[in-house]
């Protein structure tokens, strides 16, 4: 045992702060206990709070442990995650008092852990993507893993679970070889050692004093127990992946871990989550296979595209590695296994650096927000934080460079390991590109993904949640869609303005006054024809198989398949060939009906509404004010109204709109609610709706500069509950006259006493007539109940892309949202005046009994809406230049640092003369 040693300059233990963090046993013990307590608490919280509001459990496991901490730490400091892993920490004590049996030979198989990770986790993830995304699913997964781990720890000695069964055990051992740290010993101190305290202290029964000579740390998890037993143990900074540049005893399972993890994560993600979000996704082999096999196999709730993307990724990746190495072995005249496993370590950087890029980018875009808000929720308080970056920020592209660094790094490792082989130089040169086949394949996938998006574009989906779900089955790429309309907006539905290509497989068309109108679905066709009473003829429908227009009245319709309908509760797909319809039913369910039956079903969406356009909202419907007539499909004004000439007072026309639980929007035929206008001078007036047939609207004059607020107030009793609804519309008039005065009192947010429940957008101190909302900014809203701020009300902000976020108001009745960046055009299509519309919805429930005109109620449900919009923040696009500048500066500084480092290492020759006589 050595009690003191003079440490080298590159020894981390010699550094005051780093030495404390990595060597101080009291600190390490405290850290391990804290992490273990957090682990246990997160599991408990996942079972105790099973609703989707519980973001704490997922933040701990999927936000911190994996992938951020593990992925970032592995190629830098090595297996420090294993050093503080709750399983390993608690398992050490379980093993100490356990049975200490030797694990059977058949269980001492590192492929068990690798295959558990590849198929037990990633395979299941791609088939059932939502299974482990919930707090309860996460808690169940890690509880089962914990029980298995503790049982194995108790039965077997030498921490055998970590070595062989742990799903990330072999993975972390393999990828830690890329790190710039190395645990070893000072040879001068170990030469005379006979007590081997470092080996005795190791819970894994390893021998740290052999690590340097073996050029391998084997199963060391950096628990640092050995460093407290003997001062001769060192933890040094080395060249990244330096051990891969020399010979060592290879472990076959490590090479297969590199290959299978690359296939399971990087390649499958490129297939499913990368190319899968393009307009060419449906043409890929995995999508075609899934669609074909659905005709013969009932996959139930399995995500078949995800499954076959995973399968093909495994096949292509393994073939690229095996075939390339096989050819290389023939050229080198070496045994295949020798070439495959010796050179296979060059694959190490491909996955891990790409994952670092993805993990860091995700952390800045949403991970930080998820972790902070999740921890706040887990410990009983509420926080709303903004993400550290927005999509479109140029500097985020720096992380994309890591994939190219991975490719270069892999080629360098391959070059170094090829040099270690005993073969002629010519053979090595010829064999090199074949040995690099998997690296080239990885490069090709990245380039092909970029080509796909550049050529076919990114798929958009109006009816799916923001950021998830992939593309709709009904959508096709623009080049495959037939657009019959000749109007300027020919890719927009004639009724609802929805993109026709997003729902092309259910498109319909008809003639109106000899002009062809195209509709996104039969729902909109029925609305235009039977509800709006527009004379249409020559009905056509898109054949879902051939994608060509056919006579709708002669088509075979599949009604009610498991594929989600467009603007309707039931999907309707048309086919010209009955055989195609039968095959579609086999794959997706539903029944074959005629055009008349399908049309009748479409009309059922309007049953709760009057067939004469006198549409009535139910208590469950959401009511808000729109400056768009839902049936006219064009704007009649805007928020920042400039209208009117010098002698003309501008007016504003708006429409109360309601949306049912299926997402269908409609206007009100008759407005039986109270309507109030609060003008710019804070004068309150009770107003009436128009008496025109069809959609009822409200018009009001805006003679002066300032804010105008319209209040729609409705009270109805339904099933023992009083529903109190407030729909608020706020608009500012500014005529840019020189005598306009911004009166902060008048321009502040106001309510009226007639409004029981209201939403106020709180003004900022620096607001003027020129104020607009922009992405990345915060919007503060206050909820009032009977004129007083109410705590605990639910407030939801939702955009037209269906992204939404819900918060609860604080003690001041305030909720603060960050307006997300939700506009991603190409450079030449960027419109700085693009309006990203959003709707604020507030709700609150109170147990209050009473009656209205003799009708009793047991509780009151309050709801309020407030529509508005915001513009894209142009600074997010100019940041590309800053990102490029930062990248160039980083490269220059890195090169300069490397130069200084190498210059300082050079030791000039010094002539020494000896006087032999003396």
Model confidence at 636, pLDDT cuts 50, 70, 90, reads: very low
Look at residue 86 and tell me whether its pLDDT is greater than 90.
yes
Q: Tell me, what's the pLDDT at 689?
A: 85
DSSP string, 42-57: HHHHHHH--STT--HH
Query: Three-state DSSP class for 261?
Result: helix
The one-character DSSP state at 41 is H
pLDDT at 608: 47
| DSSP 8-class letter at 694 | S
Q: How far apart are CA 555 and CA 543, in angstroms?
A: 8
CA atoms of 62 and 49, how far apart (whole Å): 17
- Bridging pattern class, strands 859-870 and 721-733: parallel
422 and 243 Cβ atoms separated by less than 8 Å: no
- Poorest-confidence range of 184-193, 274-283, 677-686? 274-283
Establish how many alpha carbons lie within 13 A of residue 781's alpha carbon, considering only the half-sphere containing its beta carbon.
27
- Quick: pLDDT tens for 153-184: 999 999 999 999 999 999 999 999 999 999 99
The pair of three-digit structure tokens given for residue 194, joined into one six-digit string: 């006979």
Question: What's the average model confidence in pLDDT over 222-248?
Answer: 94
In angstroms, the CA 272 to CA 249 distance is 36
Please tell me the pTM assigned to this model. 0.61
> Which is more confident, 660 or 579?
579
Mean pLDDT, the chain, integer: 86
3-state secondary structure 320-358: HHHHHHHHHHHHHCCCHHHHHHHHHHHHHHHHHHHHHHH
Question: Stretch 232-238: mean pLDDT, rounded?
Answer: 95
Instruction: Give 787's contacts (C-beta < 8 A, 6+ positions apart).
Output: 751, 753
Q: What is the pLDDT of residues 620-632, one digit of tens each?
A: 788 999 987 766 5
pLDDT tier, 447 (very low <50, low <70, confident <90, very high otherwise): very high
The half-sphere exposure of 128 on its side-chain side, counting CA atoms within 13 A, is: 12
**In the structure encoding, which two tokens stand for residue 327, read together?**
């050819």
- pLDDT at residue 389, rounded to an integer: 79
Q: Which residue has the higher pLDDT, 566 or 263?
A: 263
CB of 867 closer than 8 Å to CB of 625: yes
- pLDDT band for position 876 (cuts 50, 70, 90): low
**3-state DSSP assignment of residue 401:** helix
Cα–Cα distances in angstroms (integers) from residue 531 to residues 527, 602, 690, in the given order = 5, 11, 20
Condensed to tens digits (0 to 9), the pLDDT of residues 36-73 reads 999 999 999 999 998 777 889 999 999 998 777 898 99
Q: What is the pLDDT of residue 833?
A: 78
Q: Residue 345: its pLDDT value, please?
A: 97
DSSP state of 628: B
C-alpha to C-alpha distance for 253 and 460, rounded to whole angstroms = 41
Task: With H, G, I as helix, E, B as strand and everything else as coil, classify residue 781.
Answer: strand
Give the pLDDT of residue 173.
Answer: 96
Rounded Cα distance, 467 and 482, in Å: 27
- Looking at the chain, the number of H-run helices and the number of E-run strands are 30, 28
Which of 1, 94, 442, 427 minimizes the C-alpha distance to 259? 442
Query: Please, are residues 800 and 836 in contact by the beta-carbon 8 Å criterion?
Result: yes
Is 376 in a helix, a strand, or coil? Answer: helix
pLDDT at 377 > cutoff 70: yes
Q: What is the rounded average pLDDT of the residues 331-351?
A: 96
pLDDT digits (tens, 9 = 90+) for 810-840: 999 999 998 887 776 665 566 777 888 999 9
pLDDT higher than 90, residue 570: no
Beta bridge partners of 865: 727, 841
Q: Is the pLDDT of residue 506 over 80?
A: yes
The per-residue pLDDT for 53 is: 77
Stretch 505-528: mean pLDDT = 91
The pLDDT value recorded for residue 87 is 96
Band (739; pLDDT cuts 50, 70, 90): confident
pLDDT in tens, 886-911: 667 777 887 777 777 666 665 555 55
pLDDT band at residue 639, thresholds of 50, 70 and 90? very low
| Rounded Cα–Cα distance for residues 440 and 438 (Å) | 5
Three-state DSSP at 873 gives: coil
C-alpha to C-alpha distance for 252 and 239, rounded to whole angstroms:
24
DSSP class per residue in 806-859? EEE--TTSEEEEE--------GGG--TT--EEEEEEEEEEE---EEETTEEESE
The confidence score (pLDDT) of residue 258 equals 97
User: Would the pLDDT of 210 be above 50?
Assistant: yes
Q: What gap in Å lies between CA 683 and CA 680, rounded to an integer?
A: 7
- To 5 degrees, how large is the angle CA 297–CA 303–CA 304? 45
Alpha-carbon distances of 910 from 733, 901, 915, rounded to whole Å: 84, 21, 16
**Other beta carbons less than 10 A from residue 247's beta carbon:** 10
DSSP letters, 96-148, are HTS--BPPPTTT--THHHHHIIIIIIIIHHHHSTTTTTSHHHHHHHHHHHHHH
Per-residue burial over 899-912, b if 16 or more Cβ lie within 10 Å, else e, is eeeeeeeeeeeeee
Rounded Cα–Cα distance for residues 707 and 700 (Å): 13
pLDDT at residue 577 greater than cutoff 90? yes
Q: CA quadruple 625, 631, 635, 636: dihedral positive or negative?
A: negative
% helix / strand / coil in the chain, to the nearest 5? Answer: 45, 20, 40
- Rounded distance, CA 115 to CA 261, Å? 10
> Given pLDDT bands bounded at 50, 70 and 90, which one contains residue 488?
low
pLDDT-derived band at 453, boundaries 50, 70, 90: confident
518: part of which helix (H) or strand (E)? strand 515-519
Question: Are 781 and 814 a contacting pair, CB within 8 Å?
Answer: yes
Residue 914 has pLDDT above 60, yes or no: no
Give the single-character DSSP code of 371.
Answer: H
Residue 465 has pLDDT above 80, yes or no: no
Asked which of 465-474, 604-613, 623-632, 704-713 is least confident by mean pLDDT, the reply is 465-474
- The pLDDT of 518-524, averaged and rounded, is 91
In percent, the amount of the chain with pLDDT more than 70 equals: 89
Go through the chain and tell me how many residues it has: 918
3-class secondary structure, 480: helix
> Does pLDDT of 854 surpass 60?
yes
């Amino acid at each position: 045992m050595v009690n003191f040693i003079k440490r080298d300059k590159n020894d981390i233990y010699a550094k005051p702060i780093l030495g404390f963090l990595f060597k101080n046993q009291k600190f390490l013990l405290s850290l391990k206990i804290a992490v273990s307590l957090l682990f246990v608490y997160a599991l408990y919280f996942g079972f105790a709070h099973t609703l989707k509001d519980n973001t704490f459990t997922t933040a701990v496991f999927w936000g911190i442990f994996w992938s951020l901490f593990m992925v970032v730490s592995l190629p830098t400091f090595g297996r420090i995650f294993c050093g503080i892993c709750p399983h390993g920490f608690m398992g050490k004590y379980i093993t100490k008092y356990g049975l200490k049996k030797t694990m059977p030979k058949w269980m001492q198989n590192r492929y068990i852990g690798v295959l558990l990770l590849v198929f037990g986790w990633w395979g299941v993830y791609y088939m059932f993507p939502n299974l482990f995304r919930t707090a309860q699913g996460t808690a169940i997964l890690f509880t089962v893993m914990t029980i298995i781990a503790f049982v194995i720890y108790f039965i077997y000695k030498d921490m055998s679970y970590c070595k062989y069964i742990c799903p990330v055990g072999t993975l972390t051992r393999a990828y830690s070889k890329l790190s710039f740290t190395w645990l070893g010993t000072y040879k001068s101190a170990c030469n005379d050692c006979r007590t081997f305290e470092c080996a005795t202290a190791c819970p894994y029964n390893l021998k740290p004093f052999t690590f340097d000579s073996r050029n391998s740390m084997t199963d060391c998890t950096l628990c640092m127990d050995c460093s407290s037993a003997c001062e001769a143990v060192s933890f040094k900074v080395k060249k990244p992946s330096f051990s891969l540049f020399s010979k060592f005893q290879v472990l076959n399972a490590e090479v297969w871990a590199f290959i299978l993890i690359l296939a399971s994560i990087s390649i499958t993600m490129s297939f499913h989550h990368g190319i899968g979000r393009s307009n060419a996704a449906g043409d890929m082999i995995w999508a075609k296979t899934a669609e074909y096999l659905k005709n013969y196999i009932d996959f139930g709730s399995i995500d078949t595209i995800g499954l076959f993307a995973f399968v093909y990724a495994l096949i292509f990746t393994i073939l690229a590695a095996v075939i390339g190495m096989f050819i290389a072995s023939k050229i080198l005249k070496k045994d295949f296994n020798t070439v495959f496993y010796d050179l296979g370590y060059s694959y190490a950087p491909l996955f891990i650096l790409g994952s670092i890029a993805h993990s860091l980018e995700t952390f800045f875009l949403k991970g930080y927000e998820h972790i902070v808000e999740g921890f706040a929720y887990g410990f009983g308080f509420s926080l709303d934080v903004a993400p550290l970056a927005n999509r479109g920020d140029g500097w985020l592209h720096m992380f994309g460079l890591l994939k190219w660094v991975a490719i270069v790094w892999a080629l360098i490792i391959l070059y170094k390991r090829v040099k270690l082989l005993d073969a002629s130089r010519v053979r090595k040169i010829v064999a090199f590109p074949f040995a690099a086949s998997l690296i080239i394949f990885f490069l090709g996938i990245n380039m092909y993904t970029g080509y796909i998006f550049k050529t076919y574009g990114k798929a958009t989906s109006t009816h799916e949640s923001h950021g998830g779900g992939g593309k709709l089955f009904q959508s096709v790429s623009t080049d495959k869609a037939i657009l019959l309309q000749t109007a300027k907006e020919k890719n927009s539905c004639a009724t609802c303005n929805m993109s026709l290509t997003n729902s092309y497989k259910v498109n319909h068309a008809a003639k109106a006054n000899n002009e062809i109108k195209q509709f996104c679905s039969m729902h909109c066709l029925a609305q235009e024809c039977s509800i709006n009473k527009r004379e249409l003829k020559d009905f056509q429908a898109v054949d879902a198989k051939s994608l060509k227009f056919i006579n709708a009245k002669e088509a075979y319709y599949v009604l009610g398949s498991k594929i989600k309908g467009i603007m309707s509760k039931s999907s309707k797909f048309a086919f010209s060939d009955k055989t195609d319809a039968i095959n579609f039913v086999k794959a997706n369910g539903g029944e074959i009906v005629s055009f008349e039956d399908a049309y009748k079903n479409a009309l059922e969406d309007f049953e709760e509404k009057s067939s004469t356009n006198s549409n009535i909202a139910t208590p469950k419907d959401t009511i808000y004010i729109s400056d768009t007539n839902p049936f006219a499909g064009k704007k009649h004004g805007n928020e920042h109204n400039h209208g009117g000439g010098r002698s003309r007072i501008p007016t504003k026309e708006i429409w109360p709109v309601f949306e049912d639980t299926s997402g269908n929007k409609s206007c009100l035929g008759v407005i039986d609610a109270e309507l109030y206008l609060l003008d710019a001078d804070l004068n309150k007036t009770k107003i009436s709706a128009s008496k025109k047939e069809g959609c009822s609207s409200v018009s009001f004059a805006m003679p002066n500069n300032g804010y105008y607020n319209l209040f729609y107030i409705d009270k109805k009793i339904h099933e023992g509950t009083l529903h109190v609804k407030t729909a608020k519309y706020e608009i500012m008039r500014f005529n840019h006259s020189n005598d306009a005065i911004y009166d902060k009192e008048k321009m502040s947010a106001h309510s009226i006493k007639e409004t029981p429940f209201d939403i106020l957008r709180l003004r900022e101190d620096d607001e003027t007539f020129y104020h607009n909302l922009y992405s990345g900014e915060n919007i503060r809203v206050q909820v009032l109940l009977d004129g007083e701020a109410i705590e605990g009300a639910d407030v939801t902000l939702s955009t037209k892309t269906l992204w939404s976020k819900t918060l609860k108001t604080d003690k001041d009745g305030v909720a603060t949202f960050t307006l997300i960046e939700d506009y991603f055009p190409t450079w030449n299509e960027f419109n700085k005046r693009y309006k990203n519309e959003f709707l604020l919805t507030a709700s609150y429930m109170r147990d209050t009994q009473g009656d209205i005109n003799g009708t009793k109620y047991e509780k009151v449900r309050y709801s309020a809406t407030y529509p508005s919009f915001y513009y894209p923040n142009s600074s997010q696009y100019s940041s590309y230049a800053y990102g490029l500048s930062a990248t160039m500066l980083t490269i220059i500084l890195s090169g300069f640092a490397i130069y200084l480092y190498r210059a300082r290492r050079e030791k000039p020759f010094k002539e020494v003369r000896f006087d032999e006589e003396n």
